[in-house]
């Protein structure tokens, strides 16, 4: 989607969005009221074009991906979130807890692939001992010492510190020593206390999620952040969520990527809800890009969106598509029809089809591979870090 800023301003004006468009063009921060207006306007393409303009300013034609492997080490969980189709109680059919040796074997099984990241998230179960979490990190590193382990959402970290009976900063140091490289962005859902009481009242509050993320960043670890959208949350609650992420990022600069997560309604307590449409998903990407002016990357998680929508998302503000994945369970239990894995070349092919230049990154967005000739041709479109943190 290439649009001249002139015609974009005219279209924004016609849609009553001129002041917002002017702020975007001037690189100024959008207000919470602006966020609500971007969600409510019928001028969907203006929102997408504004987000695309910001994405282009930050990343040129580059779109990032990595070669990664997901391991969901247990589906035991005591949070009973209404939206979740993945959780089981120990002993229930389909319930599992992977032994550290199993995790080591899963990482070893991919040694022939150029995997740079293992992404480990799971349910929480209070009887899993602290030593287990240290052991699974060590197991992954034993199998592949140079791998980056991105593991444990804020919800898991909160459980780990409880079972460790130690302050979180101390636990984070021990997890780092055992191999933790960074943290994924899940478990945030929507920070609204109203939605939490209705859908996930046993899960940590939004305030506690933010405090845990702050501690993670203060420990020198980067993390991602997410918002689960398309269920019972209001537009105002989404804006509040984005604003709280943005405020923490102003303080810590620890978030690398924001990932809007689309609610999948199959096999859970909200299966009567329709879930977001493709247009909702694209708008969510775009509003995220426009509101989160201090977060470098917006990820279109193809597993959740489908490949065609992830391709479109690259023209609506996203600059990252996650990775090759290998065995995803959380979304597939909730009805996702996407493949569970994609080959590196295939991923690069569909990024190119979407008009972007694929750049393979590691978890911390250092370039692993880029098509040099193409990068040379685009000159100054090398990644720009807006967050100001090394
Ligand atoms: O926290 C669970 C969500 C999250 C459903 O950091 C659901 O790079 C939709 O956080 N429909 C886990 N969503 C996944 C996650 C993630 C994924 C990809 C990359 C990264 C990253 C993080 O999945 C949970 C929850 O918000 N979730 N059930 C469902 N039925």
Q: Pocket of ligand 1, candidates 226, 281, 295, 327: which has the most ligand atoms within 8 Å of its Cβ, to mutate?
A: 226
For 4, how many CA atoms within 13 A lie in the half-sphere containing its CB? 3
Query: Within 10 A of 23 (CB to CB), how many other CB atoms are there?
Result: 16
H, E, C per residue of 66-109: ECEEEECCECECCCCCCCCCCCECCCCCCCCECCHHHHHHHHHC
CA 80 / ligand 1 centre spacing (Å): 15
pTM of the model: 0.94
Residue 384 has pLDDT above 50, yes or no: no
CA 100 / ligand 1 centre spacing (Å): 23
Torsion of CA 257, 185, 28, 385, to 10 degrees: -30
Higher pLDDT, 184 or 113: 184
- Pocket, ligand 1, Cβ cutoff 6 A: 83-85, 121, 153, 184-187, 189, 224, 226, 228, 259, 261, 263-264, 268, 301, 322, 330, 334
Q: Pocket of ligand 1, candidates 330, 334, 338, 341: which has the most ligand atoms within 8 Å of its Cβ, to mutate?
A: 330
Say if residues 150 and 117 touch (Cβ distance below 8 Å).
yes
- What is the predicted pLDDT for the residue at 156? 98
- For residue 14 the two structure tokens come to 């016609």
CA 378 / ligand 1 centre spacing (Å): 34
Higher pLDDT, 373 or 240: 240
- What is the predicted pLDDT for the residue at 62? 96
- From the number of C-beta atoms within 10 Å of its C-beta (0-12, 13-18, 19+), residue 272 rates as exposed
CA 123 / ligand 1 centre spacing (Å): 11
- Each residue of 105-159: pLDDT tens digit? 999 999 999 999 999 999 999 999 999 999 999 999 999 999 999 999 999 999 9
- Each residue of 265-279: pLDDT tens digit? 999 999 999 999 999
- For residue 360 the two structure tokens come to 């393979």
CA 217 / ligand 1 centre spacing (Å): 20
Atom of ligand 1 nearest to the CA of 267: 30
φ/ψ of 69, rounded to 5, equals -140, 130
Residue-averaged pLDDT of the chain: 93
- For residue 314 the two structure tokens come to 């690259």
**Which are the contacts of 132, defined by CB distance < 8 A and separation ≥ 6?**
100
CA 261 / ligand 1 centre spacing (Å): 6
CA-wise closest residue to 152 among 107, 194, 118, 189 = 118
- What is the predicted pLDDT for the residue at 187? 97
């Amino acid at each position: 989607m290439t649009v001249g800023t002139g015609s974009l301003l005219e279209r924004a004006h016609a849609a009553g969005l001129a002041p917002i468009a002017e702020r975007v063009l001037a690189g100024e921060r959008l207000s919470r009221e602006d966020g609500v207006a971007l969600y409510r306007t019928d001028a969907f393409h203006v929102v997408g074009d504004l987000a695309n303009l910001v994405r282009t300013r930050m990343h040129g034609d580059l779109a990032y991906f990595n070669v990664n492997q997901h391991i969901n080490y247990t589906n035991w969980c005591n949070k009973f979130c209404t939206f979740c189709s993945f959780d089981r109680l120990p002993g229930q059919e389909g319930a599992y807890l992977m032994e550290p040796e199993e995790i080591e074997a899963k990482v070893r099984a991919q040694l022939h692939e150029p995997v740079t990241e293992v992404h480990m998230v799971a349910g929480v179960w209070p009887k899993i001992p602290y030593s287990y979490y240290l052991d699974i990190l060590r197991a992954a590193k034993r199998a592949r010492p140079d791998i980056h382990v991105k593991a444990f959402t804020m919800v898991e970290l909160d459980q780990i510190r409880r079972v460790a009976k130690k302050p979180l900063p101390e636990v984070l140091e021990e997890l780092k020593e055992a191999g933790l490289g960074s943290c994924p962005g899940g478990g945030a859902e929507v920070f609204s206390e109203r939605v939490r009481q209705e859908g996930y009242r046993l899960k940590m509050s939004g305030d506690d999620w933010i405090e845990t993320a702050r501690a993670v960043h203060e420990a020198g670890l980067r993390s991602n952040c997410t918002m689960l959208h398309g269920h019972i949350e209001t537009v105002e609650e989404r804006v509040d969520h984005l604003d709280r992420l943005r405020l923490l990022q102003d303080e810590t600069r620890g978030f690398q990527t924001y990932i809007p997560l689309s609610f999948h309604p199959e096999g859970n307590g909200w299966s009567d809800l329709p879930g977001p449409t493709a247009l909702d998903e694209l708008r969510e990407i775009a509003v995220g890009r426009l509101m989160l002016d201090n977060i470098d990357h917006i990820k279109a998680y193809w597993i959740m969106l489908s490949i065609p929508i992830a391709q479109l998302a690259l023209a609506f503000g996203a600059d990252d598509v996650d990775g090759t994945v290998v065995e995803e369970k959380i979304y597939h239990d909730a009805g996702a029809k996407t493949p569970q894995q994609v080959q590196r070349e295939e991923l690069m092919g569909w990024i190119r089809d979407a008009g972007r230049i694929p750049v393979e990154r590691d978890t911390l967005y250092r370039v692993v591979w880029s098509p040099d000739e193409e990068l040379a041709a685009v000159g100054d479109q090398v990644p720009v870090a807006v967050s100001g943190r090394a």
